[in-house]
Amino acid sequence: MTGTGELEAVIGLEIHVQLSTRTKMFCGCELSFGDQPNVHTCPVCLAHPGVLPVPNRKAIEYALLIAAALECEVAPRSIFHRKNYFYPDSPKAYQISQFDIPIAGAGRLGDVRIHRVHLEEDAAKMIHVGESGRIQGSDASLVDFNRGGTPLVEIVTEPDLRSGAQVREWGQLLRATIKQLGVSDVNMEEGSLRCDANVSVRPSGSDRLGTKTEMKNMNSFRFIERGIEAEIARQKEVIASGGKVVQETLHFDPSTSELHSLRSKEEAHDYRYMPEPDLVPIAPTRAMLDAAAGALPELPAGRSRRYREDLAVSDSAALQLSFEVEWAEFFEGVIAHDTEIEPRAAANWVTGEFAAELRKQGDQGLSETRVTPDALGALVKLVGSKRISHASAKDVLAEMVAEGADPLEVVEERGLEQISDSGELEAIVATAIDENPKPAEQVRSGNEKAIGALVGAVMKATQGRADGGEVTRLLRRDLGL
């Protein structure tokens, strides 16, 4: 291989999602976060002799919901396997997972294909006492089995991603999608969503895959983006200098931007997968599949497409609204106020001025604000029909956010209604030209920029109640442009 300029990155993701069921995957213990260690345990999740797993029906339903959202093919009969490895976080010394027949395969989210979706159980949490922070060299290691047995869905993509930025954007879309399904908290810091990335590089346009490295334990999509970019750069450099990429597992330290090798291929486990004899196959009934399809809400990708294509909302506003259901619902409340409201303008008001005003006034959330979608709709309509100017509208909005005021009342009280009488406006424009001869002359002699001072004068005289477009039109006409 030659020059690094001709190399492209190939990235595939493995995402673990902790399901927010009430109980664990194979026993009746409640899920928890932050409780005292080992209080949510029973003989089953502690792997006492003689216990048997009983699958959590809700977890299977949630997995089917995810499969439906990712447009996957659901297996008519999928089976559980035992994945064998000795480690204290795995009380049975095997994890019940799925192997050759996962619950769902072949799907898609946005422009990334899904390879498979499978169900498994989470490991327990280990705490290593001592300076090393790892099991080697620790003074002691403690195991908290509260997390052990939490239902997990693992989503594996095809290697369709090409950059760290794309991974971040797609990852955020996936997270928003799963959040809206209501099947997980998808909190990366608490570990309810975990993302591993397989990264390799190859000559652009090639269909062969290069040697990949696996990047683990990244707890935000920003870090993932940076980690992947760092790893792509590293691999390109290795190849440019005539070296070969070695298959290994890497950890990206966001505080130093350094990559550390965790373990090399030589230590790879033979998991001795075996069909789990204690469980019968998952064979979803027609009713279960229909229920999953029927329970599917409008998801970010589809919602954003609808806003863009049907409502002509701008790309960025559409994306922003569709990632957060409550904002999307607020927006739809705004446009429901009146059919004359332009959705594109309304979306800009919601994601722009309104969101900014909420942040400005004490970082309010949508659930806290006293502004109703209907009231904001009324305001947007006032602007759209040119009854008030954009500048006045911002003042009204500030009062609405502060006091929960009704926009019509504020406009009336403060007399903010735009001057609609063209005779009155023409007179004010003429006065402004008379009182500002210098800029007027500059405009007449071809310096169009000087018109700003005249517009400002009109606005000052009208206290912002004039339509800026109309003012400019009159000024240009009177100055002979």
Partner 1 sequence: MADRDLLRATAAETASLIADGQVSATECLDAWLARVGEDDLNGYLWKADAAAAGQTVDRAAADPVAGVPVAVKDIFCTAGVPTTAGSRILDGYLPPYTATAVSRLAAAGVPMLGKTNMDEFAMGSSNENSAFGPVLNPWDHGRVPGGSSGGSAAVVAGGLAPWALGTDTGGSIRQPAALCGIVGLKPTYGAISRYGMIAFASSLDQCGPLTRDVTDAALMLSRLEGRDEMDSTSVGIEGGVDPPSATDLKGLRFGIPADLIGEGMEEGVREVFDQTAATIERLGGSIESIKLPHSDHGISAYYVLAPAEASTNLSRYDGVRYGIRESNADLDSMYEETRGEGFGPEVKRRIMLGTYALSSGYYEAYYGRAQRVRTMIVRDFTAAFEQVDFVITPTSPTVAFGLGEKTADPWSMYLNDLYTVPMSLAGIPAISIPAGTAEPAGGGPGLPVGFQIAAPAFSEQSLLEAAFALEGAIGFNQAPPGAKR
C-alpha distances (whole Å) from 311 to each of 335, 385, 425 are 10, 18, 35
With beta carbons less than 8 A apart as the criterion, state whether 442 and 396 touch: no
Closest CA to 121 of 243, 191, 25, 224: 25
User: Where in 65-84 is the site for partner 1 (CB under 8 A)?
Assistant: 82, 84
Q: Per-residue x/- marks for partner 1, 22-51, CB under 8 A? A: ---------------------x--xxxxxx
Decide: is 176 part of the binding site for Zn ion (CB under 5 A).
Answer: no
Main-chain dihedrals φ then ψ at residue 87, nearest 5 degrees? -165, 145
User: Where in 14-53 is the site for Zn ion (CB under 5 A)?
Assistant: 27, 29, 42, 44-45
Helices (H), 216-299: 221-240, 286-295
Choose among Zn ion, partner 1, none what residue 86 binds, the Cβ cut-off being 5 to 8 Å by kind. partner 1
Decide: is 93 part of the binding site for partner 1 (CB under 8 A).
Answer: yes
Burial of 315 (0-12, 13-18, 19+ CB in 10 A): exposed
**44 vs 186, beta carbon nearer Zn ion:** 44
Choose among Zn ion, partner 1, none what residue 45 binds, the Cβ cut-off being 5 to 8 Å by kind. Zn ion
Q: Per-residue x/- marks for partner 1, 125-154, CB under 8 A? A: ----------x-----x-x-----------
Using the rule CB under 8 A, which residue among 6, 73, 258, 278 binds partner 1? 278
Report, in Å, the least distance between residue 57 CB and Zn ion. 16
Main-chain dihedrals φ then ψ at residue 193, nearest 5 degrees? -135, 125
**273 vs 455, beta carbon nearer partner 1:** 273
List, as one string, the DSSP characters of 418-473: ----HHHHHHHHHHHHHH-HHHHHHHHTT-GGGHHHHHHHHHHHHTT-S-HHHHHH
Decide: is 279 part of the binding site for partner 1 (CB under 8 A).
Answer: yes
User: Where in 52-81 is the site for Zn ion (CB under 5 A)?
Assistant: none
With beta carbons less than 8 A apart as the criterion, state whether 245 and 235 touch: yes
Indicate the SS3 state at residue 143: strand
Count of residues that bind Zn ion according to CB under 5 A: 5
Report, in Å, the least distance between residue 265 CB and partner 1. 14
Q: β-pairing, 7-18 with 193-203?
A: antiparallel
Decide: is 92 part of the binding site for partner 1 (CB under 8 A).
Answer: yes
**List of residues contacting partner 1 (CB under 8 A):** 43, 46-55, 82, 84, 86, 88, 91-94, 135, 141, 143, 270, 272-274, 277-280
**List of residues contacting Zn ion (CB under 5 A):** 27, 29, 42, 44-45
